[in-house]
Amino acid sequence: MADRYEKVSHFLYGGKCMSGGKAVSKKKMNKAEFREHCWGLAFVSPAFIGFLIFMAFPIAFAFFASLTKWNGMNSMTDNFVGLNNYIKLLGDDKFWKVLLNTVIYMIGIPIGMILGLVIAVGMNRKIKGIKFLRTLYYVPVVSSLVAVAILWMWVFNYDYGLLNSIVKMISGQHGPNWLGDEFWVKISMIIFMVWKGLGSSIILYLSGLQGIPRDYYEAAKIDGASGWNLFRDITVPLVSPVTFYLLITGLIGGFQVFVEVLVMVPSGGLNYSAATVVFYLYEKAFSSNQMGYGSAMAFILAIFIFIVTAINFKGQDKWVKTIE
Amino acid sequence: MGSEIKSAKSKMIDRIVFVALSLGAVVMVFPLIYMVLSSFMTKNQILSADFSIIPNPWKFGKYSEVLAKPEFLRGLRNTLIVAAPVLLIGGFTSSLSAFSFSKLKFRGKNGIFLGLLATMMIPFAVVMIPQYVMFTKMGWTNSLLPLIIPGLFGNVSIIFFLRQNLTSVPDSIVEAAKLDGCGYFRMYYSIFLPLMKGALMTQLILWFMGIWNDYLAPTIFIQNEKWFTLQVVIRSFNSYYAVNSDYPLIMAASVLAILPTLLLFFFFQRYIIESLAVSGVKG
Amino acid sequence: MKMKKLGALALTTTLVFGSVLTGCGGKDKGTTADGKKNLSVFIFANDHESPIYKGMIEKYKEAHSDTIGNIDVQITTQEEYSKTLTGMMTAKELPDVFYVGPESVQQFVENGYIENIQPILTELGISTDDLVAQEALNSYRYDGSKVGTGDLYALPKDASVFAYAYNKDLFDKEGIPYPDPENPYTYDEFVEVCKQFTKDTDGDGEIDQWGCGLANQFMIQQYIWSNGATFLSDDYRTVTIDTPEFKEAFQKFIDLTLVHQVTPTVEQDVSLGVYQRWLAGQEAFYACGTWDVAAFMDKETFPFNWDLCGYPTLSTGKSMTWLGTVGFCVSASSPNKKEATELISYLCANEDGQKELSGIVGGQSIQLPNLKSLAEGEFLTAIEDGSLPFPESVDVFFSYLGGTGNYEGRFQETTYTPNAEWFDIFFKNVDNVKNGSMTVDDFIADVQPQMQESLDTAWESIE
């Protein structure tokens, strides 16, 4: 178990041999190792070839575009500007603003994970009708965004929305401007996004929970462990691979949030308070026809994502456990 | 597995959990309730200033209207044409890759994996135009191929998840299999694929949902109406000027679009939940 | 056991390959085997227009079956259109016929995407004199440096007008005489009339009926232009929102909400848009574009009696509004330019098609007829005898279009700039002024440099 993760940090530190033992990249392989190497490579080749065909050219194209003043209509080569777009981007206040918004939205990730795990544990029990209940939790994930957005805009409506009606009933005061206020719009979006993604976290955690042998729980109960102990010391650590997956995909996806904003707050919010990086990117590329600039934004974003992901990969030794 | 005799305490916890989950379920499900109800409303009622839940008057017939529209069924068909090969072949290539990344040793493994992961980090918006250019040059734009072919090569997110899932399987199994003279493909097919079954099914269901709900890619890659997928068809019911849209129709179509996926999930749950006995190394 | 597995595998393989193959389409070429020409068309259209255009193209194909082989029509939504078109341009695979807006004519021509159809029109003997909207037609002319004069590069699909409208039933209820379509209100008269509508009708202490509702982005220009001001200088390079005329017009616009309070407040607007309030009969005045007519005449959508009128006038005494248009153009790399030009001339001017689109046939009007002969003839008679549901004061549309009487229509200033970003900057924060948190002067001082910068970048990007 340990060496896999060490191999990742091994790669990240540029080939220095950090793990004890298996220095595959330095020695020459023997026949058996070579055979395994070939088969291993062969098995991942479809994915790799797919990447080469469908992503390599587009990424290269997009990168070149980011070095030009391409607007979708003119010639890229005639409008080469080098790193100008990048420099402009670093000085663009709006960019940093939407980047901050994007990061703030990520608070939803741990919220979604915790809720997801707790609910999954509850759903893992053999209760009559639980199958039906589980299906219901999945509805937000499969619902069309258009219909869902109409609903939630009503929920958040300042005058007669569901939330503010409840607030008025309970406290007699007028509720906040959920979608119009610079602060509250962020809260609303987080609520919306957690709600929409909960079903997927639950399913994935349910899947992960299946891998935990019952005997562990039995043994611990015999030792007198409480429900909370069972949860904290067995469940949580043993679903950590799923948690790690959710964290990484959550971060990668979270940095690229776009459609939800487009649908709930099409203007990007008052003073751009709800817009995300990809939202801004879309506007620049397709409304303002500044595709080169938009591409540059995409690459800077990708760099951020990569750094954050790499940090997490490195840190996973500390908390991602597996069953021996 | 086998039957369990539950203690009274356990049963009470069951009940509490059930009630709590049911309350939560209402929150999860209210859009669907509204969608169903609004598909029986008049357009005016949906657009009106006062938000209302109960249709007044009740207008029936939108569902048959949707089903009578050939575009709708065509969209359904097209989405399925995309989903079938992608899930089957893509599921195969993804699980094969995951097995290899997780259990086999080969040079460049981590580099390739991180490279694949990196493809998730570029927003679709900037690759969609060059991809479109590629598909045009390959002559695929008058078909569903742009949506099918890339998926056949595997899905990085799934590879990642399956790889995580396999970390809980001891390496000793691989060693034992090697000692037995087992070929690598056979190892995948007879040992690890069954082990991955639950996780793979989970991911395939999620992938299916993704394909089902996908709107961005089909819109730009498919211009020919006869190849529109389901979400694009539903979206085409929208008029550019809101007042012209037939909202009850759109709601009916959206409800119809959700039903198969929910049914699918309901029936395929058992693949996810079924207790896969990993507690023991099969010989 | 093994047979079952093999069988399953075989079935799956067949299924999969079957799907993949079914998923393949064919590729059309420019000419069929027997020398007939093929054409490809790519446009956007909504649910209602789509069958009409498809029908028109089908009829055209049949009428020309000796020279035309296949016409491939692809229709998408308006929102996605430009992205897909960009993709096609980048791939250098454009259809024979597609849309161009007046704001893109210069760039499309300069980058070699569209063909100069003037010579072809002359060769085919096609005249454009019978078109109603000559100004819209001219917006597709380009002489190498300026749009508006020179050879034609596209033919208009339509010319739309964004006029003003009023709820007759509300006027009746309050006992106020209808506005005179020949004499639009002045600003002051307008304010007085609106005040008479703004009240609390159900006694709950909150105002629930207003004189008008203002959708900033679509209605501010009417006030600005009518006061003799413009957003940009004549060469469209400088932002001129700091002129006294502009500030005055802007202030008057804002005052409708802030001072005279004849519109819903900003917060009320967020709750329920001004458009929806109009549909619910809460506002006396609102806008109506030529594309809205069918919907507003539909009693289910808008159950009130209504009619067209003019926007209030400011210092120039002219009621102004903006026009819109989109045109059919021919790809510069098309192998069948002559046939394509014939097709677009048909789409623009074919009588039967125009009758359907304008509602003379079918009763659902989504655009004005392009042909003068129809517009002055059958269109008006159909309205008079009731076979075409239309507001009585249809002349308002034509007056704006033709610039007659006290009316004048012009294109938005964004039509003449490389992109509309500078314009969006202005509107993103107008609500800050509308709710009183910023003064007009402060706002303009804040926003003008940003707009200028954006405009400069835009011009730079095409130089």
At residue C320, what are phi and psi to the nearest 5 degrees?
Answer: -125, 155
Residues across chain C? 463
Quick one: average pLDDT of A42-63? Answer: 90
| pLDDT the model gives residue C339 | 92
The answer to whether the Cβ–Cβ distance between A73 and C111 falls below 8 Å is yes
Note whether B24 and A137 are within 8 A (CB): yes
Residue C440 has pLDDT above 60, yes or no: yes
Quote the DSSP letter at residue C114: B
Preferred mutation among B46, B126, B131, B132 to probe C, highest tally of C CBs within 10 A: B132
User: How far is C92 from C97, CA to CA, in rounded Å?
Assistant: 14
Q: How confident is the model at residue C23 (pLDDT cuts 50, 70, 90)?
A: low
Quick one: average pLDDT of A99-125? Answer: 92
Residue C305 has pLDDT above 90, yes or no: yes
Q: How confident is the model at residue A3 (pLDDT cuts 50, 70, 90)?
A: very low
Instruction: Round the average pLDDT of chain C to a whole number and report it.
Output: 88
Note whether C57 and C25 are within 8 A (CB): no
Which member of B29, B106, B262 has the closest CB to residue A37? B106
In this structure, the answer to whether residues A159 and A264 fall within a common structural domain is yes
Residue A304, number of CB atoms within 10 A of its CB: 17
Q: By 3-state DSSP, what share of chain B in percent is helix, strand and coil, each rounded to 5?
A: 75, 0, 25
| pLDDT the model gives residue C26 | 46
The answer to whether the Cβ–Cβ distance between A55 and B127 falls below 8 Å is yes
| pLDDT the model gives residue A192 | 93
Quick one: average pLDDT of C221-244? Answer: 94
| pLDDT the model gives residue A26 | 53
Tokens of A91: 């000085």
Give which of B127, B200, B31, C2 is closest to A203, Cα–Cα.
Answer: B200
Quick one: average pLDDT of C58-76? Answer: 89
Chain A contacts in chain B segment 222-261 (CB below 8 A): 231, 234-235, 238, 250-251, 254, 257-258, 261
Tokens of C10: 């075989």
Residues across chain A? 324
Give which of C226, A32, C245 is closest to B105, Cα–Cα.
Answer: A32
Residue where a domain stops, chosen among A43, A65, A87: A65
Q: How confident is the model at residue A16 (pLDDT cuts 50, 70, 90)?
A: very low
Tokens of C202: 């159900």
How close, in Å, is residue A89 to chain B by CA atoms?
Answer: 16
Element spanning C163, H or E: strand C154-167
The answer to whether the Cβ–Cβ distance between A11 and B94 falls below 8 Å is no
Quick one: average pLDDT of C372-377? Answer: 89
Q: Is C70 exposed, middle or buried (0-12, 13-18, 19+ CB in 10 A)?
A: middle
Quick one: average pLDDT of C397-414? Answer: 91
In a domain, A140, yes or no: yes
Quick one: average pLDDT of C431-444? Answer: 90
User: How far is B140 from A209, CA to CA, in rounded Å?
Assistant: 43
Give which of C402, C396, C391 is closest to C168, Cα–Cα.
Answer: C391
Tokens of C158: 């339509």
In this structure, the answer to whether residues A120 and A19 fall within a common structural domain is no
| pLDDT the model gives residue C400 | 93
How high is the ipTM of this complex? 0.81
DSSP assignment of A112-173 equals: HHHHHHHHHHHHTS--TTHHHHHHHHTHHHHS-HHHHHHHHHHHT-TTT-HHHHHHHHHHSS
| B239-276 residue pLDDT tens | 655 555 677 888 888 888 888 888 888 888 777 666 43
In a domain, B32, yes or no: no
Q: Is B7 exposed, middle or buried (0-12, 13-18, 19+ CB in 10 A)?
A: exposed
In a domain, A12, yes or no: yes
Task: Using the structure block, give the residue that is written with the tokens 């079956």.
Answer: C65
Alpha-carbon torsion (A102, A105, A107, A111), positive or negative: negative
- Tell me the three-class secondary structure of A208-221, residue by residue: HHHCCCHHHHHHHH
Coil, helix or strand for C26? coil
Q: Which domain holds residue B89?
A: 69-236
Residue C56 has pLDDT above 60, yes or no: yes
| pLDDT the model gives residue B239 | 61
| pLDDT the model gives residue C166 | 95
User: How far is B175 from A281, CA to CA, in rounded Å?
Assistant: 49
In a domain, B82, yes or no: yes
User: How far is C325 from C373, CA to CA, in rounded Å?
Assistant: 20
Tell me which amino acid residue A236 is: V
Largest CA distance in chain A: 79
User: How far is A141 from B20, CA to CA, in rounded Å?
Assistant: 20
Q: Is B15 exposed, middle or buried (0-12, 13-18, 19+ CB in 10 A)?
A: exposed
In a domain, B241, yes or no: no
**Could you tell me how far CA A246 lies from the centroid of its own chain?**
7
In this structure, the answer to whether residues A101 and A228 fall within a common structural domain is yes
In a domain, A36, yes or no: yes
Spell out where A134-221 has E strands. Answer: none
Q: How confident is the model at residue C228 (pLDDT cuts 50, 70, 90)?
A: very high
The answer to whether the Cβ–Cβ distance between B107 and A25 falls below 8 Å is yes
Tokens of C266: 């900003």
User: CB-based contact (8 Å) between A270 and chain C?
Assistant: yes
Bridge partners, residue C31, by sequence = C37
User: CB-based contact (8 Å) between A36 and chain B?
Assistant: yes
> Domains in chain C, please, with CATH?
37-158+325-378 (3.40.190.10), 162-323+391-461 (3.40.190.10)
Q: Which domain holds residue A225?
A: 95-318
Quote the DSSP letter at residue C199: B
In a domain, B173, yes or no: yes
| A239-252 residue pLDDT tens | 888 899 999 999 99
Task: Output b/e per residue, C212-244; b: 16+ Cβ within 10 A.
Answer: bbbebebbbbbbbbbbbbbbbeeebeebbbebe
- Here the CATH number for the domain that contains residue B87 is 1.10.3720.10
User: CB-based contact (8 Å) between B7 and chain A?
Assistant: no
Chain B residue nearest residue A119, CA to CA: B21
At residue A6, what are phi and psi to the nearest 5 degrees?
Answer: -70, -30
| pLDDT the model gives residue B245 | 66
Residue C418 has pLDDT above 80, yes or no: yes
**Could you tell me how far CA C19 lies from the centroid of its own chain?**
41
Quick one: average pLDDT of A126-147? Answer: 82
In a domain, A78, yes or no: no
| pLDDT the model gives residue C24 | 53
Q: Is A296 exposed, middle or buried (0-12, 13-18, 19+ CB in 10 A)?
A: buried
Tokens of C181: 């379509």
In a domain, A76, yes or no: no
Residue B253, number of CB atoms within 10 A of its CB: 30
| C233-291 residue pLDDT tens | 998 999 999 999 999 999 999 999 999 999 998 878 877 788 888 988 899 999 999 98
The answer to whether the Cβ–Cβ distance between B167 and A322 falls below 8 Å is yes
Residues across chain B? 283
User: How far is C42 from C328, CA to CA, in rounded Å?
Assistant: 10
**Could you tell me how far CA C462 lies from the centroid of its own chain?**
25
User: Chains touching chain A at 3 or more Cβ pairs under 8 angstroms?
Assistant: B, C
The answer to whether the Cβ–Cβ distance between A39 and B104 falls below 8 Å is yes
**Could you tell me how far CA C59 lies from the centroid of its own chain?**
26
Coil, helix or strand for C306? strand
Tell me which amino acid residue B243 is: V
Helices (H) and strands (E) in chain A, counts: 18, 0
At residue B228, what are phi and psi to the nearest 5 degrees?
Answer: -55, 140
Lowest mean pLDDT of A78-82, B21-25, C371-375, C403-407, name the range. A78-82
In a domain, B42, yes or no: no
Q: Which residues in chain A touch residue C80, judged by CB atoms under 8 angstroms apart? A: none
The answer to whether the Cβ–Cβ distance between A146 and B188 falls below 8 Å is no
- In C227-298, which residue ranges form alpha helices assigned H by DSSP? 244-258, 266-271, 274-279, 293-297
| pLDDT the model gives residue C29 | 58
User: CB-based contact (8 Å) between B47 and chain A?
Assistant: no
In this structure, the answer to whether residues A147 and A203 fall within a common structural domain is yes
Coil, helix or strand for C393? coil
* Strand bridging mode C151-152 / C141-142: antiparallel
Residue A14 has pLDDT above 50, yes or no: no
How close, in Å, is residue A177 to chain C by CA atoms?
Answer: 8
- Quote the number of domains for chain B: 1
**Could you tell me how far CA B196 lies from the centroid of its own chain?**
18
In a domain, B26, yes or no: no
Q: Which residues in chain A touch residue C463, judged by CB atoms under 8 angstroms apart? A: none
In this structure, the answer to whether residues A144 and A100 fall within a common structural domain is yes
Q: How confident is the model at residue A9 (pLDDT cuts 50, 70, 90)?
A: very low
- Quote the number of domains for chain A: 2
User: How far is A73 from A82, CA to CA, in rounded Å?
Assistant: 19
Residue A5, number of CB atoms within 10 A of its CB: 19
Angle, CA B118 vertex, CA B117 and CA B121 arms, to 5°:
110
In a domain, A23, yes or no: yes
The answer to whether the Cβ–Cβ distance between A46 and B266 falls below 8 Å is no
In a domain, A75, yes or no: no
User: Chains touching chain C at 3 or more Cβ pairs under 8 angstroms?
Assistant: A, B
Residue where a domain stops, chosen among A13, A47, A65: A65
User: How far is A197 from A202, CA to CA, in rounded Å?
Assistant: 9
| pLDDT the model gives residue C185 | 94
- Here the CATH number for the domain that contains residue A184 is 1.10.3720.10
User: How far is A258 from A263, CA to CA, in rounded Å?
Assistant: 9
Chain B contacts in chain A segment 191-220 (CB below 8 A): 195, 198-200, 203-204, 206-208, 210-211, 213-215
In a domain, A84, yes or no: no
In a domain, B159, yes or no: yes
Note whether A282 and B193 are within 8 A (CB): no
pLDDT tens digit at each of 283 positions of chain B: 444 566 787 888 888 888 888 988 988 888 788 888 888 888 777 766 566 778 878 888 888 888 888 888 899 999 999 999 999 999 999 999 999 998 888 888 888 888 898 888 888 888 988 999 899 888 888 789 999 999 899 889 899 988 888 887 888 888 888 888 788 888 888 888 888 888 888 888 889 988 988 888 888 888 788 888 988 888 777 765 555 567 788 888 888 888 888 888 888 877 766 643 333 222 2
DSSP assignment of C8-24 equals: HHHHHHHHHHHHHHHT-
- In A233-324, which residue ranges form alpha helices assigned H by DSSP? 236-238, 240-255, 259-264, 277-282, 291-315
Q: Residue C275, CB half-sphere, CA atoms under 13 Å: how many?
A: 16
In this structure, the answer to whether residues A37 and A107 fall within a common structural domain is no
Quick one: average pLDDT of A277-294? Answer: 91
| B154-183 residue pLDDT tens | 889 899 988 888 887 888 888 888 888 788
Residue A238 has pLDDT above 60, yes or no: yes
Which member of B50, B115, B272 has the closest CB to residue A206? B272
Residue where a domain stops, chosen among A49, A65, A81: A65
In chain C, the percentage of residues whose pLDDT exceeds 70 is 93
Contacts of C49 by beta carbon, 8 Å cutoff, 6+ apart: C357, C366
End-to-end CA, chain C: 71
**Could you tell me how far CA C442 lies from the centroid of its own chain?**
32
Axis crossing angle, helix A108-123 with helix A130-137, rounded to the nearest 10: 160
Q: What is the CA radius of gyration of chain B?
A: 24
Spell out where C6-153 has E strands. Answer: 37-44, 68-76, 97-100, 141-142, 151-152
